[in-house]
Amino acid sequence: ALEAMTAIGPLSVVASHWLGNPAEGLSALEAGRAIGLREALALDESTLAGLNKGDREQILTARRRLGELHMEAQMWTEPAASAGGSKPDMMGIRAYSDIVADIETTRRELSAAREAVGLGSAEPLTTEDILNSLPRGTAALVPVATEFGSIIYVIPTGTTVLDQRHALDLPLIKESDVAEKTQAWLAAYNLVRERTRNRDAYDVILAASVDAGNVLEGILQWCWDSVMGPAIERLAELGTTSDNTEELIILPQGRWSLLPLHAAWRMVDGEKRAVLDDFAISYIPSFHALKTARARNATISAQSDDVASGRLLALINPEKSDPGYDLPGSEGLEVPALRAWFPDPEENPILVGDAASKASLLNGCSDRSYLHLSCHGEFDWANPDQSGLKFAGGEKLRVPEIAGRMKLDRCRWVMLSACESGIVDTSDVAEESYGQVAAFMMAGASAVTATLWAVDDTDTALFVEKVYQEHIKNGLSPARATQKASLWLRDLPIPERDALTARLAPNTSTRR
């Protein structure tokens, strides 16, 4: 039922547009995504801070219990689980029916607790709510692809009525086109990544990966021609340009989530120019998530106006004892970069190696303003719920655990310096926004930086130092700081890059 409800959204967008009522389509789209996220992640508890301690703890306890039950239920969703509800290799694990019964009971308890304090049942945002959720100086882009063609919602901040001007019709861009480009993107990406994995065959793979790089560049150019270029052109027609708008907020649908739309490019005066050159970019799993994150950030800012007073918890290179998983650049470069901006070691612990354990993260994150995780990450295409981050001893923090066990109500920013931490499952429409980013937001974080790539130690460390400088010293928002650091690193000449690397870690040899 959840999958069916979520699938209605994209088709409603096209049908509503044809019927001359784009606002109804956007509301249906948001409803489908919000229902899925609320069921999986309970993103609607931003008002808990105003409750008394007893009521708040009752709701939070029920939410955590739901998270734990969902984790337990995940053990039974593997193909090996039999229809009869018994699993010979999992003796001692409770019957699936008992877990489901406990989930239903806990949901009723949570609903009753919410009703008792006047929170009521969370309803999807209305179109007016969606329009009001946009911060000043931003614009929202919502690309939706179906086999009947594509629609891009183009919504400048300050829009009060959504009409046909805000729904850009692209009848020739179909979902199958996006699927084809995404498959080509992933194939080329994997070939480029293989160059860094297989050092013995580096020269052989290099030539093939150069060709793959050209494929990647071509797809990014297609992203401009097919969606980002027309959307930005329509924004200009509506009076929104990079001169009066700093940030684009993108809610990608389906396979659009796997493509870095911020890197879409075109030629300007003989040079490549990407979307990120003109706008800071944020991605959101739903407008409900955006509204919740803004409310949380306002609460955090009210507690401390000075970003420099924020407290850091960093976990670095947790598997350093295993030569196959050691991240020398992470430890040698990111630690001094972080310590430069968070100098007090008692207030801002940086845990390295065996100290960077899953337990230390779960036990130490609740009062942190900044959470920096520099470790191995992976997306499990076969079992997306098994995706996550790896810590000391090979322990993995999976998506349901992030949502169910972490407490980040004071967290301004989570930095995931880990491979593929921003990928979501686009094969299941009901889960397409359910990934590590949404899980950290459910846990309380108001901003998350994640990756669609396998990232390099050295370049990531340089990015980390620059992004915190822009945020803490210059006071830029996470989106603006990320934009500045990304463009700076992209345009950094190689000699300057090597000099910075040597300054950060003069005794550390890092891979190129």
pLDDT, averaged in runs of 10, over the chain (512 residues): 59 81 83 59 49 77 74 56 44 68 80 70 77 93 89 94 93 91 87 65 59 88 96 95 93 88 96 96 89 83 65 92 78 87 92 94 92 87 78 87 82 89 66 73 88 82 91 93 96 88 61 40
Q: Is 46 helix (H, G, I), strand (E, B) or coil?
A: helix
Distance of alpha carbon 87 from alpha carbon 360, whole angstroms: 33
What structural domains does the chain harbor?
2-126 (no CATH), 128-282 (3.30.420), 305-504 (3.40.50.1460)
Q: What is the pTM of this model?
A: 0.80
Q: Is 85 left (phi over 0), alpha (psi -120 to 50) or beta?
A: left
| pLDDT the model gives residue 54 | 83
Phi, psi of 198 (to 5 degrees): -105, 85
| pLDDT the model gives residue 78 | 45
Q: 131: which 2 tokens?
A: 């329009």
Write the CA distances from 453 to 103, 240, 302, 456, 460, integer angstroms.
Answer: 35, 31, 35, 9, 11
Sheet strands (E) in 20-166: 138-146, 149-156
User: Among residues 365, 433, 374, 441, which one has the least CA distance to residue 403?
Assistant: 441
| pLDDT the model gives residue 47 | 53
- DSSP output for 302-332: HH-S-GGG--EEEEE-TTTTSTTT--HHIII
Chain centroid to CA 134? 18
User: Among residues 36, 13, 33, which one has the least CA distance to residue 25?
Assistant: 13
| pLDDT the model gives residue 383 | 72
User: Among residues 249, 256, 254, which one has the least CA distance to residue 219?
Assistant: 256
First to last CA, the chain: 49
| pLDDT the model gives residue 86 | 46
Q: 354: which 2 tokens?
A: 């065996």
Q: 488 forms bridges with which residues in the sheet? A: none
* Planar angle of CA 365, 368, 372, nearest 5 degrees: 75
